[in-house]
Every structure is written in C-alpha cells, then in structure tokens.
Structure 1
Amino acid sequence: MTPVASVPPPTVQVNGGLASPTSSIQSPQNVASLPSISDLVGEINPAIASISVESVSRGLFFDITDQGAGSGMVVRADGHIVTNYHVVQDVRGIRVNLPNGESYLARIIGGDIVTDLAVIKIDPVGELPVVSFGDSEQLKVGDWVVAVGNALALRGGPTVTLGIVSARGRTVKTERGDLYDMIQTDAAINDGNSGGPLLNLDGDVIGINTAMLREAQGIGFAISSESALPIIDSLVEHGRVIRPLIGLNGADVTPAVASRFGFIVNEGVVVTQMGRGGPADEAGLLVGDIITKLDGIPTPNMTRFLTLLWSYTVGDTVQLEYIRDNRIGETAVVLVERR
C-alpha cells in the first residue's frame, strides 16, 4: 500500500535568532514532577478522528490522484467533526477513521478560509464521544498544553505531544492569509496534526492545531477556542459563517506609529478605510479615528478588535469608543452580515 502523505499545515516565516543556552540543569526531582497525561489521553482519544483525503490535479496527459491526511475531533455526537479548512479544501473524497476501528466516508458541511476551520459530517452507527471545550481566555503563558493528532499519518492511533503556551494573541501570516488570535506553543505540531485539538490539563480543547514554523523547532500555532467556537456553531447550523461586518479597515497603533503621527495613545486601531454607506460610515466614524474600546473592552490592536467583533452576531449593536482630534467620542454601530 502506498503511504499516505500528511497534509502540511500552513507555514510561517519570521526573522529570529539563536536562544541563549540555559545555565542550569533540571534535577531528577524536577523532572519527576512533570505532569502525567495518560488519563487525559485515554479520555480524549475516542473523540479524535484521523482524516484521509483524495484530490485530483490535472497533468499534461492525464489526471493525477493525490492523497493526504489530517486530524479532526468530534464536536457533535451525531458525527459532526471539526478540522482545518486547508485539510479538506478542493478534495474529491474524505474518509474518517476513528480510534475504535470504524471508518466512514465524510461530506463537507462548510468551511471558513478566514479562520482555516471546516466542519465535516459522517453518519455513524450510534452516538460518538465528543470533545469538551475550555476557555482559552484563561490560558497563561507557561501553562501546560497537550497536542493530539494524526501526525505524519502514522498507524496505531493519534500522536500525543506535551508542551507549554509560549505566547497568546499572535497574528500569523501564512501562504493562505493572516490568522488572528493564535496560541503559540512548543508542543510538537507536525504534518498531519492540522485540525487536531490543543488541550489544557483538564482535557478541554482550548485550541485547534493549524500551523507550524518549519525553519525552527518548537514553534507551532493553534486557533484559540474563543475564536473557533462561534465559527464552528455557525458552520454546523448554517453551513457557512455568518460573520458580522462593521464596514471599515484598520491598522494597529503602536508607539512608533503614535510618535510619527502625533497620536495621544500608544495602542488602538486606527481607521484606514471606510466602506461608503456601511455600518461604521452610517455611525459617523471617519478615516483617522482611533478605536480604543468595543462595548467597553479595550481594543489595543486589530487582532483583539476582530476577535471581539466576531463574537457578536448580525443585528447586534456595539458601542465604539474612539479618539478624534485628541478628543474621546462614542458611537453605536449596528452590525450587518458580511458577504
């Protein structure tokens, strides 16, 4: 049998340097205090799916069939499974293999290229075990996390790796576009891990593994559960993401930007473009306004602004606080559907 190639997660590029070597060595006592995750793995494994995909590319004389693999997790007992959009995008066939040995053909319910999330569906004989989601907002840098997935499409069940939260709220530039509100971890994320869960030590999903940095070791990224849950619910219920639109483009205000343009704040979102007749335009916002809060919650950058915005639904009214001509203003914006 020809080996199945695992679907590579999106890769990112950064300019980095070498880390300084540590000056101390862990004692055996410290090593012994590392957490055991065997019980956690036993509980989560039944809800982890191994996904095989088949796609067709056109050759010069005949079509070429390609095979790939990724990961997923059961989010509804009736067979709804979450994975990454890039795993199932433009494929001809999808097969889901469960840890209990059952295998099913799957169909795509919906996908979202903006967050790189997709929901597929199988029709199981009975109800399936499902994952539980935790609150990624409670994560702290340094917390232990566990990555589970179909790494390298290896036989014998999911691969489990342990690491820590290295950073939160990252914006990651990939070949498929920017991904916002990402969790950075040093838990190993390899080809085939895409779509698998990132767990806290309670066994709750706090992220969905999606990208890695090939040029370095120990740098992987996961979509936060806070960002993922509204997308998953929308895909399950509607087959697409009904995302609210505010009708503006913005950029981060940084200390350097503030100094250059004479802003009185060092963080926020400066409006760079307005959609004529859109919600923000109707609410009286102008290019050059600096948005500092959304419904009273600080928006220090575009990542946080979009994360907050996408937690609302179409038809909601949000209150924006902004700075114009060094004065604070407020306005209410009614969100419409993004199409």
Structure 2
Amino acid sequence: MLREKSMKTTLIAILGALVLEAALLGGIFLSFSNDSNDSVAAAANTGTAVKSAVSPVGTDIIADTVDKTSPAVVKIETQIKTTTRYYDPFFNDPFFREFFGSKSPYREKSNVTEGMGSGFIISEDGYILTNEHVVSGAIEINVYLTGQKKPLPAKVIGSDAELDLAVLKVDAGSKLPYLKLGNDQNIRVGEWVIAIGNPYGLDHTVTTGVISAKGRPVQVENRQYKNLLQTDASINPGNSGGPLLNLSGEVIGINTAVNASAQGIGFAIPANTVKSVLKNLIEDGKVTRPWMGVYIQTMNSELASQLGLKSSQGALLSGVMTGSPAAKAGLQQGDVILKINNQQITDASDITDFIQSKKVGDKITLLVERNGSQKTITVTLAEK
C-alpha cells in the first residue's frame, strides 16, 4: 500500500514537472513570437524598416562627424603652365633652313591647364594642408571655402615632393573652422574612417570605409610613398589632399593615392608623418633632411663571397658621393657598415631609417669592415 502510494506521488511530481516545462517553453516561444510580431507591426504602421541588429556604425555618428568637419574641407583649383617641345617641319625645307640659318629646328609651345584637388584648414588664420602634387607647377591657386562661391587666392608656404605634402595660406578676413591632426598610431585595422573631398569636381563628397592596412609602401608614377594607410573608402581623382577622418572628427591621414588597377583601394599619408614636418614646412618652406652621401645595398652571401668576406651581415657601400659628409669622414666604396651607433645593421634600410631619424649636424659612429679589418668612423650629417 505504501509502495503504491509512493509510486503515485512520484508520477504526479513527474507530470507536474512536464506541465511546468511545457508552460515555460510555451511562454518563452509566445514571448519571442509576440516581440517579433510587435516589431513588424510597428514598422508597418510607421512606414519604417526594422533596423538591423548587426549595423557596425550608427549612421548618426557618421552624419554628426561630417556635419562637424565638413566646413573645414576646401576645394582647390589651379592654373598650371606646361611647355611642349616639338619639331618644326619647315626645317625639312632646304630653302627655309638657308633663310633662317642654323637655328634649332625645335620649338616650344606654352599651354595653361587646369587642375583640381582637395585640402583642409588646420588653423583659424587660414593655413591649409594638401598634397604637393595638387599644387606642383601652379602659377595660380584658388581655394573655395564651404558656402562661398567666390574663391580666395592662395600661396604656397612650404612643400615637399618626397612626402607629397604642401601647406597653403589664404586670408579670409575672419577666423576659419579647422581640423585637428590626430594620432594614426591609435587607429586599428578594421576601424571605420570617413573621406571628404572633391572627386571629379563633385564638391564635398563623403565616402566611408575601414582601415584595410597600415604601413604600405606604394609607388605611383615616379613618386615612391612609404608607410601609407590603406583604406577601402572610395578615393578618386580630386580627393587628393582631403582628410581621412576617424569617427571623432580627427584627421588620421591625408588622402593621396589611388590604385588604378584595383577596386576599393585608396591610400593616405599618416597624420603623424605630417606632424613631424609641419613646423619645417611653415617656418622654412621645406623639409630639412640629414644626409650622409652614400649608395648602399644589403649584403648577401653572394656579395660576401665575391668580396672575400666571412659574414654576409651589414650593408655594402656601393658608392660614396664626392664632397659628401661620408667622403669627408673617410668612407670608401667597398666598405661594409656593420653597426651604426652600436646598433647592428641587417640590411640597407636600417641605415636609411636611422639617418632619417637624426638631425642636420648630428654625429654618427659607424663600425666598418675594410680589407679584412674593422675600424670606427665618425660622420657629421649635413643638409641634403
């Protein structure tokens, strides 16, 4: 009897648990169903689409950043004088040559072409940053400020072809909105960025994307860029010189290059590169670089074997320029630089990077191998 009663009690407990579980599951399912139906119904009633839960960046953040920064972005128009050299076909006529004598058969024709680019204001008194190639060779530069139909004449304060940077100055007669240069070291690959510029003359075009990579070396025509930021934000001709912004509205790069053979790949000069030379550009009109005056190449086992060296470490001096700091210090072609200021040299770029980190007038100490023996040579860097 007791056993029978115990079995009934257990059975009732199990059935109760199953009913409770079913109720809970039903409630949860009902709750999910109701939430979904309510959302869809609300969207239908208000005429708005249901927002995606995986949206990476709020559109309000981007729009707010654009509203805040766009007034400091400018359009730059230039007049560039070019000269074309051509052969005068009249010199094929013997009578013409006899009449005009031995003058050169080549003639020059001057043309004025129009150029366009972007830039952005970096101070309230009218200093503007852009690319050097935007204003290179210009005989006239005009800058269009936001909301103004009449341009302001601009002059080049400083420029550097190697870094592709230029600083312009306009006199607006009042304080101007400006952008702050940020720290590109703080931005990570995958973070969102905004590009503002004037591609194809389309004023204040905004594109967005992410940082695709950092530290990219890129060659465009005859210009070799180093350490560029890569982005998939659309950058087209006319964007050059415009800002690449983080979501806080800070400039983390200057849009400068487009890879014509690929889709969705653009490049920008890092903000830290700009900050390192900005004072020189404004005060001196150029970037002052230290110079040693040597041609170098990375050592390898084949070179070491040809030179009879036991080790392939270091960098080989394949040439020393006459009258250079290196020549004055006694460096010779065929020397192998093993160390610079006690730092081991593994390839030629180690020397280049080290020199670029120094100033004109700095003294550097080289450990050099020559004819099987090592010696220490001190070089005083001069201006390039």
Tell me whether the two structures share a fold, i.e. TM-score over 0.5. yes
Q: Deviations over 1:318-337 (max 9, x none)?
A: 56678889999876543211
* Per-residue Cα deviation, 1:196-245 (whole angstroms, up to 9, x for no partner): 12223333222211111111112222222232223332121112222222
Q: Say if 1:275 and 1:58 are closer, same or farther in 2 by CA, change over 3 A.
A: closer
Asked whether 1:29 is paired with 2:39, we answer: no
TM norm structure 2: 0.66
**Partner Cα distance (2:326, 2:175) in 1:** 45
Q: 2:338–2:344: 8 Å Cα contact kept in structure 1?
A: no
> Which residue pairs with 1:14 in the alignment?
none
Match status 1:247 vs 2:272: no
The 1-side partners of 2:214 and 2:375 are apart by 33
Counterpart residue number, 1:21: none
Which residue of the other structure, out of 72, 76, 81, is the alignment partner of 2:119?
72
Bigger mean CA deviation after superposition, 174-183 or 327-336: 327-336
Which amino acid is 1:41 matched to?
A: V
CA deviation after TM superposition for structure 1 residue 124, in Å: 1.3
Matching residue of 1:147 = 195
Aligned to 2:138, what secondary structure does the other structure show?
Answer: coil
The answer (yes or no) to whether the contact 2:209–2:231 under 8 Å persists in 1 is no
1:133 maps to 2:175: no
Q: Secondary structure at the match of 1:237?
A: helix
Rounded Cα–Cα distance in structure 2 between residues aligned with 1:160 and 1:187: 6
Q: Secondary structure at the match of 1:194?
A: coil
Deviation of the 1:121 alpha carbon: 1.2
Aligned counterpart, 1:120? 168
1:271 deviates by 4.0
**Alpha-carbon shift at residue 84 of structure 1 (Å):** 1.0
Displacement of 1:192 in angstroms is 0.4
CA contact (8 A) 2:214 2:227 kept: no
In the TM superposition, residue 310 of structure 1 has moved relative to its aligned partner by 3.7
Distance 1:259 1:298, change over 3 A: closer
SS in 1 for 2:195: strand
1:35-184 matches, within 5 Å, as 36-57=61-82, 64-101=111-148, 103-155=151-203, 157-168=204-215, 170-184=216-230
Please say if residues 117 and 232 of structure 1, whose CA atoms lie closer than 8 Å, have aligned partners that are also in contact: no
- 275, 285, 290: which one pairs with 1:229? 275
Deviation at 1:64, TM superposition (A): 4.6
How far apart, in 2, do the equivalents of 1:291 and 1:225 lie? 33
Distance 1:274 1:67 in 2: 42
CA contact (8 A) 1:227 1:311 kept: no
- Residue 258 (str. 1) matches residue 300 (str. 2): yes
Output the CA distance in 2 between the equivalents of 1:324 and 1:162. 53
Aligned equivalents of 1:294 and 1:43: distance in 2?
Answer: 47
Distance 1:78 1:140, change over 3 A: same
Higher relative contact order (CA 8 A, sep 6+): 1
Deviation at 1:122, TM superposition (A): 0.6
Query: Secondary structure at 1:188's aligned position in 2?
Result: coil
Classify the secondary structure of the residue corresponding to 1:127: coil
**Counterpart amino acid of residue 33 in structure 1:** P
Q: TM-score, normalization: structure 1?
A: 0.74
- The code of the aligned residue for 1:67 comes to E
Aligned to 2:308: none
Distance 1:126 1:117, change over 3 A: same
Structure 1 unaligned regions, length at least 5: 1-26
Distance 1:196 1:183 in 2: 14
CA shift, 1:63, in A, is 5.7
CA distance in 1, matches of 2:239, 2:258: 10
Counterparts of 2:176 and 2:342 in 1: how far apart (Å)? 39
Q: Kindly tell me: are residues 37 and 229 of structure 1, through their superposed partners in 2, closer, same or farther at Cα, counting changes over 3 Å?
A: same
Q: Is the 8 A contact 1:83 1:118 kept in 2?
A: yes
Give the partner amino acid of 2:196: V
CA RMSD, aligned part only?
3.5
Matched residue, 1:188: 234
Question: Please, which moves more after superposition, 85-94 or 135-144?
Answer: 135-144
1:272 deviates by: 3.4
Task: Figure out how many residues of one structure are paired with residues of the other and give that number.
Answer: 301
Name the amino acid aligned to 1:29: A
Return 5+ residue gaps in structure 2 as ranges. Answer: 1-50, 87-107, 305-310
Q: Percent identity?
A: 35
Q: Quick check: 183-192 or 238-247, which moved more?
A: 238-247
* 2:36 corresponding residue in structure 1: none
What is the letter of the counterpart of residue 114 of structure 1? Answer: E
Per-residue CA deviations over 1:64-116 (Å, capped at 9, x if unaligned) read 54322101111232211111111111122211111242631111223221112
Tell me, yes or no, if the aligned pair for 1:313 and 1:335 is still in contact at 8 Å: yes
Conserved 8 A contact 1:264-1:326? no
- 8 Å CA contact 1:209, 1:221 repeated in 2: yes
Once residues 200 and 321 of structure 1 are traced to their aligned partners in structure 2, the CA distance between those partners, rounded to angstroms, is 44
Q: Distance in 2 between matches of 1:138 and 1:226?
A: 11
